[in-house]
């Protein structure tokens, strides 16, 4: 309306939008939909295409590829492409360079078999072996897991994996565990140290208050044993615990 292309007109008790200036309206459409208004969002697969179709790269949520970091302290650990030709020596790359990166994209399927830790935060991911040395592979979730990452972890190519979710001990972290459990039913556990009760003294009250809406949503999932455990801790201590505290304990 600001450009004068359309105007409101009261018809009965309802407002209708009418074209006020055909030239301005055509210019508006061309600026927002360079290929025309019949372009379907589902037909655009990446942000480069979104610029051409809609004049806005962020009109689609994800690009053609998504990069993820993986690590392993086991020398022989490898991830393979399902075409059988590409092998990523994650164990060696982790030893030599700290880790490896994979591209999740259409047409390339990575496969692995073993125990996998899905880790929420960067510092704990890069030093996961201080707390979870027994897992075969660590995957960086980068906070909230993307839909593409969840789809890969729950794909047939990863069906032989057992997952350990290690996130913050807060309502959002528990929700992320539930998302992973939904993607990989019966194959997901959540890492909770035996001394979790004692560690709550390092908890963050502001974080607990900030996540009150997430906490109320969790109460609807209380049939899950891990959710029940965490709800009891939240209600008793009224704080959340960030996962980095376990690194501090391990590095003492």
CATH code at position 194? 3.40.1360.10
3 in a structural domain: no
232 in a structural domain: yes
Q: Do 14 and 138 reside in the same domain of the chain?
A: no
Q: Do 31 and 99 reside in the same domain of the chain?
A: no
Q: Do 101 and 141 reside in the same domain of the chain?
A: yes
Residue 58: the pLDDT is: 56
Q: Do 108 and 25 reside in the same domain of the chain?
A: no
Q: Do 242 and 121 reside in the same domain of the chain?
A: yes
Q: Do 50 and 111 reside in the same domain of the chain?
A: no
Q: Do 134 and 166 reside in the same domain of the chain?
A: yes
Give the end of a domain, one of 59, 77, 96: 59
Tell me which residue range forms the domain holding 16: 8-59
User: Do residues 166 and 130 make contact, with C-beta atoms less than 8 angstroms apart?
Assistant: no
Cα(221)–Cα(198) distance, integer angstroms: 25
Residue 148: the pLDDT is: 93
Q: Which residues of the chain have pLDDT under 50?
A: 60
1 in a structural domain: no
Residue 5: the pLDDT is: 65
Cα(220)–Cα(167) distance, integer angstroms: 20
Residue 251: the pLDDT is: 79
> If DSSP codes are grouped into helix, strand and coil, which group holds residue 73?
coil
Residue 222: the pLDDT is: 80
Closest listed residue to residue 136, CA positions, set 83, 70, 82: 70
Q: Do 78 and 52 reside in the same domain of the chain?
A: no
Residue 106: the pLDDT is: 84
Cα(171)–Cα(68) distance, integer angstroms: 24
124 in a structural domain: yes
User: Do residues 43 and 36 make contact, with C-beta atoms less than 8 angstroms apart?
Assistant: no
30 in a structural domain: yes
Q: Do 74 and 148 reside in the same domain of the chain?
A: yes
Q: Do 96 and 189 reside in the same domain of the chain?
A: yes
Residue 8: the pLDDT is: 73
Q: Do 50 and 141 reside in the same domain of the chain?
A: no
Give the end of a domain, one of 31, 59, 87: 59
Q: Do 53 and 93 reside in the same domain of the chain?
A: no
Give the end of a domain, one of 41, 59, 77: 59
Residue 16: the pLDDT is: 75
Residue 250: the pLDDT is: 84
Domain count, the chain: 2
């Amino acid at each position: 309306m600001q450009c004068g292309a359309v105007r409101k007109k009261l018809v009965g008790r309802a407002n209708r939008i009418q074209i006020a200036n055909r030239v301005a309206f055509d210019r508006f459409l061309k600026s927002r939909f360079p290929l025309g208004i019949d372009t379907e969002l589902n037909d655009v697969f990446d942000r480069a295409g979104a610029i051409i179709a809609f004049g806005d790269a962020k009109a689609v949520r994800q690009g053609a590829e998504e990069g993820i970091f993986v690590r392993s302290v086991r020398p022989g650990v490898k991830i393979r492409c399902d075409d059988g030709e590409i092998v990523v020596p994650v164990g060696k790359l982790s030893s030599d360079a700290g880790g490896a990166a994979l591209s999740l994209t259409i047409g390339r399927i990575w496969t692995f078999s073993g125990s996998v830790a899905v880790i929420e935060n960067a510092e704990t991911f890069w030093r996961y072996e201080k707390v979870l040395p027994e897992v075969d592979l660590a995957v960086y979730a980068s906070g909230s897991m993307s839909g593409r990452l969840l789809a890969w972890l729950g794909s047939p190519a990863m069906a032989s994996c057992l997952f350990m979710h290690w996130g913050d001990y807060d309502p959002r972290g528990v929700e992320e565990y539930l998302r992973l459990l939904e993607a990989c039913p019966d194959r997901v556990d959540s890492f909770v140290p035996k001394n979790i009760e004692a560690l709550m003294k390092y908890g963050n009250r502001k974080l607990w208050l900030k996540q009150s809406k997430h906490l109320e949503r969790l109460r609807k999932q209380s049939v899950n044993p891990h959710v029940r455990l965490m709800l009891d801790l939240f209600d008793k201590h009224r704080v959340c615990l960030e996962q980095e505290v376990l690194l501090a304990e391990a590095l003492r």
